A and B are shown apart, each in its own frame.
Chain A
C-alpha cells in the first residue's frame, strides 16, 4: 500500500483527524492529538502496520512535536511518520503503550527528558534521570548545571575559522 493510499484511508475513516501533510524526506502525517489513539489502532489492525519503530519528540518553541515511526515486519515496506503537536503548557499526548508495549520505555524517555505526559501509560516514570530530579534536559530552555556554552563556542569558532 502506498503512502497516498494510507493517507486517503485515514481521511476517509477519520475525517478531521489529519492536520497537515508537510513536505518532508519521509512521508509524514500530522494528526490531532486526541485522534492519535484511534488512528493508530486502525493502522495497526486494518492496514497491517504492526511495528512501532520509534517514539521521540522535538521542542519547537511554542509547541512540542511527538514523532512516531510506524512500519511493518511482514513485507518490504518503508515506514510512515506520524506527528502530533501539543502546546507547551499542557504537553499531554495519549499513550500508545496499550497498543504497542514497545512504546513503554520510549515514552518514559520522552517524559523524562522532554517533559511530555502520556495519558494512559501504565507506569510513567523518569527512566534516565533519578527520581526527584527537576526539569527536563532536552527542552531548549533547560539550563544545564555545567557551562554548555563552551561547547557551542568551540563549534562556533571552528565554523568561523579560516580553514574549517
Chain B
C-alpha cells in the first residue's frame, strides 16, 4: 500500500496576498489544506507599552498607525474613550464632523478591501485602481481638512483639531453623489462576473454560531447573519439620530462578505448625506485643558470601525500618561476563525478568504 504523508508549507511573512507581514504555517495533504497556524508579531511596535510613557494627546497620532487605512475611526475610538474617562462633552458640530469623517473612512476601507480582494483573486490591479481612484477623492477631503491623507491625527478630546474649510461641504456632496453612481458601476463590473462567482461563492463559509463563539465582528460577522453593529447596538457619538440599515446576509461565504461591504458603502454614503444636511454651525472644540489628567479609574469604549468592534481600554492613575493602554483589535480576533475556514480547501481559496476577512497587520500586531 502506498503511504501518503502531510507536508508543512510556509506562506509569508513576505507575500503579496497576506496584506502586510503575516505568516502562516500550513499543513498540506497534497493540494488540500489540513491545518493552518497563524503567526503574528512581525509588525509589533510595542504601542501599548509606548503609550504608557506619553501624554494622552501624544498618543493620538499613535492610533493613526494601528489600522493605517482607517486613521479617523481609530482616532474616534481613542477620543471617546478618553472623553468617557475624563467626563468631557463634545460640541454638536464636532460630533457631526466626526460622523462624516468616520463614515468616509468606512467607505475608504471597504474600497481598499474590495480592491485588494480582487487583486488577490488575480484581477491584477484593474479593479484595485478603480477603487483607489475613488478613494483618492475622499483622501482629498481629508487633506483639505487636516493636512494629511492617511495619518490624519484630526480628532481631539472634546472636539476636532480644526473646523471644516469652506469648500468642504460642496465638495463632499459632489464626492458622495459620484460614489453612488460609481458603486453601481463597480457592481456591474464585478458582482455578476463569472470568475468572481466561481472563486468566492461557497468558499470559506463561516457558520453563525462559530462567528459568535469566536467574537468575530464587523462585515465578516454580518455576512454570517448576525445583525450586530455597535452603531445600532450601543450608539456612540450621535449615531442614534441617523437613519441607516444594517445589511446582513445568511450565506457566510466570501461572496457574502464582499456583498456586505458594497451594501455598507451605500449606507455610509446615506449617513454622510444626512450629516451634511444637518451640520449645525458653532464651535468644534470644547474647553479642555491642553494637558489632560483624567481622574483615577478605568474605562472601556467601543466603536464600529470598518473592520469590526474597535475598543480601547484605558486605566488612569491620575497622571499625565495612561497607566494602561489596551486596544481591542477587531482583525486579530476575526482571524481566530481562519483555520476553520480554510480546512479542506486549497491555497488559492485561502488567499480569497484572507482577502474577504480584510485584515491589516498594523492593527493586529500594534
Contact = CB atoms under 8 A, between A and B. Distances in A.
Nearest to B328: A54
A129 B53 CA distance: 20
A25 B298 contact: yes
Interface of A: 24-26, 50-54, 56, 58-59, 67, 69, 73, 76-79, 81, 100-106, 109, 113, 126-130, 137-138, 142, 144, 148, 151-152, 154-156, 158-159, 164
Contacts of A52: 215
A51 B215 contact: yes
Contact of B300 (A69, A104, A129): A69
Interface string B8-37: 000000000000000000000000000000
B183 interface: no
Contacts of B226: 73
B202 to A, nearest CB: 23
A158 B84 CA distance: 24
B275 interface: no
A105 B84 contact: no
Nearest to B333: A102
B336 A102 contact: yes
Given A53-B309, A54-B313, A155 B54 contact: yes
Contact of A151 (B54, B210, B215, B298): B54
B73 to A, nearest CB: 17
A56 B313 contact: yes
Contacts of A25: 84-85, 297-299
Interface stretch (B42-50, B135-143, B162-170): B42-50
Contacts of A58: 298, 315, 323-324
Interface in B298-321: 298-300, 302, 309, 311, 313, 315, 320-321
A79 to B, nearest CB: 8
Contacts of B358: none
A127 B41 contact: yes
Contact of B297 (A24, A69, A78): A24
A53 B310 CA distance: 10
B41 A51 contact: no
A138 B48 contact: yes
A4 B210 CA distance: 30
Contacts of B321: 152, 155
Contact of A137 (B49, B228, B291, B297): B49
Nearest to A58: B324
A155 B213 contact: no
A135 B168 CA distance: 50
Nearest to B209: A50
Interface-centre pick from A67, A79, A138, A155 (highest chain B CB count, 10 A): A155
B326 interface: yes
B296 to A, nearest CB: 11
Given A129-B41, A130-B41, A155-B55, A59 B324 contact: yes
